[in-house]
Amino acid sequence: MADDVLAKALAALGRKARTEAEMREWLLAREVEGEEVERVIGFLIENLAIDDRAYAVAFTSDKRELAGWGRDRIREVLIRRGVDRYLVEEALAASGIESEVERAVRVLIEKGAELDDDRGRQRALGLLARRGYEAEEAYAAIRIAGRAA
C-alpha cells in the first residue's frame, strides 16, 4: 500500500469525518487505482479510522440535538452518504429517547414559532417539513406547542 495515499486519506479524515463510501469517492477522485483504494479502505476500516456505524450514531445525535432534524431527513442524508440502511435504522432507533413529536415541539418553542393564526401554523408546518418531520408528527407538535403558548 502506498504510504503517501494512506497519509493523504488519514489527513482527509482528520479534517472531516467520512463514511466508507465518501472516502472511496474521495480516493477515486484523486485517481487512486481501484485495487489501491480497496487496500486503503480495508486498512482504515480495520484500524477504526472509518466506522459507518459510529458515524451514523454521531451524525444522528448531532442533527437531532443541534439542528433539530427529524428522522426522515437524517435517514435521507445518511443513505445519500452511503451508509447501509440497517446502520441508519440502528442509529435512529438508538436516538429514540425523545419522541419525534416531543422533539418537534421543542424545535417550535426554540424557534419562537407564532402559532396564533393560520399563517403562523403554516410557517411552522413548513419549518418542520424542511427538517424532515412527517406531516402527522408536525401537526401534533403544532397543536401541542399552540396549547402551551
Give tens-digit pLDDT for 82-107.
999 999 999 998 876 567 888 899 89
State whether 79 and 59 are in the same domain: yes
State whether 15 and 29 are in the same domain: yes
State whether 144 and 104 are in the same domain: yes
State whether 42 and 66 are in the same domain: no
In angstroms, the Cα distances linking 27 to 73, 94, 98 are: 27, 31, 38
State whether 62 and 88 are in the same domain: yes
DSSP 9-67: HHHHHHHS---HHHHHHHHHHTT--HHHHHHHHHHHHHTTS--HHHHHHHHHHHHHHTS
Give rounded-to-5 percent helix, strand, coil for the chain.
75, 0, 25
State whether 61 and 34 are in the same domain: no
Stretches where the chain sits below pLDDT 50 are none
Distance, CA of 94 to CA of 57 (rounded, Å): 8
State whether 22 and 61 are in the same domain: no
Q: State which of 79, 94, 109 marks the end of a domain.
A: 94
Which DSSP state fits 110? H
Instruction: Give the pLDDT confidence score for residue 102 in this predicted structure.
Output: 87
Q: State which of 31, 46, 61 marks the end of a domain.
A: 46
Q: What domain range is 123 assigned to?
A: 100-148
State whether 42 and 61 are in the same domain: no
What is the number of domains present in the chain? 3
Instruction: Give the pLDDT confidence score for residue 83 in this predicted structure.
Output: 97
> What CATH number is attached to the domain comprising 19?
1.10.10
